[in-house]
Amino acid sequence: MIASAAEIVTGAAPEGAVRRDAARTRWERPALLLLLGATALLYLWQLGASGWANAFYSAAAQAETHSWSALFFGSFDSANFITVDKPPAALWLMALSARLFGVNPWSILAPEALCGVAAVGLLYATVRRWFAPAAALLAGAVLALTPVAALMFRFNNPDALLVLLLVAAAYALTRAVEDGRTRWLLLAGALIGLGFLTKMLQAFLVVPPFALVYLLAGPGSLALRLRQLLTGGLAMLLAGGWWVAAMILIPAGSRPFIGGSQDNSILNLIFGYNGFGRLDGNEAGSVGGGPPGTSGRWGPTGLLRLFGSEMGSQVSWLLPAALIALAALLWLSWRGPRTDRPRAAALLWGGWLLLTGLTFSLAQGIIHPYYTVALAPAIGALVGIGAVELWQRRDRWGCRLLLAAAVAASASWAFVLLDRSPNWYPPLRVGVLVVGIAAALALLGVDTLRRRSAATLGAVALAVALAGPAAFAAQTAATPHTGAIPSAGPAPTRGRATGGRASFPSNFGGVPRTGPFGNGNQGTARGSRGGNARSQSPRGLAGQFGPGGIRGGLGGLLNANTPSSALISLLRQGSAGYTWAAATVGANDAAGVQLALNAPVMAIGGFNGTDPAPTLAEFQSYVRAGKVHYFIASGGLAGGFAGFGRPAGPAGSSDTAAQITRWVAQTFAASSVGGVTVYDLSHAR
């Protein structure tokens, strides 16, 4: 195994660009197949153990198997009351799979895993266009073994599809830089546009570095390159804007309420809750986000945020090495011609890493650790390209010094990350540090070693750099994850906190971080299995607050608990003729019921329970018209009372959920079914 790894490390790159028809080494194709096969095994093994994973999206995918209009809009329920708070592209993937193979955890999660395998393969193909096979294989391996990638490619949040689309766009841009054909820029723009339909403005973070790379390194005149970029930008706007235009043009009465918005406007969702509000923290409708003008409510911001206890173990294992590689590539290519490809690659992947990383580091609005999966392809590409380029120039003192620095930094930082979970395989962190420092020192004199000895040393350095993230990725894949905010790897038990493991404020509405929203891996199933802290729900707090109906509620704001068989049996009785079998505050409470019932459940207030939909008058009209059968008390904090964790401000929409809850409690008799308070809306008292 060491010999084969050494052979990959020492693979010689062809002079200049790597031609598509260049003769491949004998080991490259088997190595690629091994990489893709191992990635598929890591992402698909026991995939169903996480159940519905994020039940919010699973319930929406289930709904869209019943209604093509719900599929188009990205609705949470098949009756098209409200959409999810994201655009629908990721749901399309899950829903189409569920239509083909039935609604089950595998049909919903398998497309995410396949997105991961495809992303690894495309990253390999992109790097391989210009660099040695060893660089491409290492880039793919780093992406596959990044812990947050092992998490999100086994989970059904939109991030898996987003990463695949952005890597595919980078491949198209690489081809455009090679031959200057406009069609490749059109493809790159269209793929980024589809990324917008997956996670809105986050997809556009790669646009500035992509445009810069083509302007600086593309063939042809500057005027031609500018025209081509404008054409690619038009393709991006068309690919991402057609659905937005449809949502604007379709009358509000003929489509669902746009979840996450405060005025039933897709533009409010794009530029508010999912847009600039993420940057400045001014997010109307965000639970715990604070009133306009506040900042830092989602954890301390700053340049070191990616290295903190919240995000560090997710993605930053090889981030120091990637930054060293970026500096090395720019240093090695600074005298090259305008179209120099190593420099173009450094700007492409380095620009992706720096702009996206700085955005995550400085954002004052909602930010969750799993967002960092968007950094993994850039880190992988820089590490792969930089390591091999420096290795091939190891006869130069500066290159040996940079190689040694990258290995030493990776080993030292891995020790710090592993030490944050000191009870999880303690020998690993010591071994990584000792062997890593020894390998780094040996690399300073690698030019004096014979070829075989040098290859063995390179293989050892590579293995020690990947040991930490690989161990965390394996642990992540072996641990079921559920809920809205999953987290990779064992939960840190020491180390400086940066916003809390669950990405909630340090004191969310008076709830300490060690309470239901913090201290550990929010969303990890089955207790502390695999070293993760237990996922806790707000049930204990929910029973203490709020008028009429909160006591004895369902699960909570972030988790969709499985409802009892007694509750589902009651909801099924006499459900014929009702548009919604039940209504409850918050989409996660509604999701658990909807998945078990396989019938529409109205999620009052959308995901957070803070959207102004429906108003009290609208809900009363639904009840009078016989469209809603039952109201289920919510365990979510947003629905129990107005303004929990923040003053009631312009958002004011939590008042809507509270008004409905109070009216139901005052108008209808309550009964307890399976420990949950239920109101029959067909019989007023």
- Report the interhelical angle of 565-572 vs 587-597 (nearest 10°): 70
Strands (DSSP E) along 55-144, which ranges? none
At 624-666, the pLDDT tens digits run 999 999 999 986 544 333 333 333 333 333 588 999 999 999 9
**Residue 349, CB-side half-sphere exposure with 13 Å CA sphere:** 32
* CA–CA distance, 87 with 142 (Å, rounded to integer): 29
| CA–CA distances in Å: residue 489 to residues 51, 452, 512 | 19, 36, 23
**Looking at residue 275, what DSSP letter applies?**
I
> Is residue 371 scored above 80 in pLDDT?
yes
> Is residue 549 scored above 60 in pLDDT?
no
584: nearest Cα among 575, 576, 573, 592: 592
Mean pLDDT over 452-466 rounds to 95
183: nearest Cα among 222, 228, 221, 216: 228
For residue 635, the model assigns a pLDDT of 63
For residue 554, the model assigns a pLDDT of 64
For residue 532, give both structure tokens.
């993760």
Choice among 126-135, 292-301, 474-483 with the minimum mean pLDDT: 292-301
599: nearest Cα among 551, 563, 549, 638: 563
Q: How does residue 493 score in pLDDT terms, banded at 50, 70 and 90?
A: confident
| CA–CA distances in Å: residue 593 to residues 49, 78, 548, 608, 676 | 20, 14, 20, 16, 12
Handedness of CA 279, 285, 291, 297 (dihedral sign): negative
At 307-323, the pLDDT tens digits run 998 899 999 999 999 99
At 24-61, the pLDDT tens digits run 578 899 999 999 999 999 999 999 999 999 999 999 99
For residue 524, the model assigns a pLDDT of 39
For residue 175, the model assigns a pLDDT of 97
> Is residue 186 scored above 70 in pLDDT?
yes
Please, what is the average pLDDT of the chain? 85
Choice among 18-32, 472-486, 567-581 with the minimum mean pLDDT: 18-32
For residue 562, the model assigns a pLDDT of 84
What's the whole-model pTM score? 0.87
* CA–CA distance, 185 with 171 (Å, rounded to integer): 10
| CA–CA distances in Å: residue 592 to residues 483, 574, 584, 599 | 11, 20, 11, 11
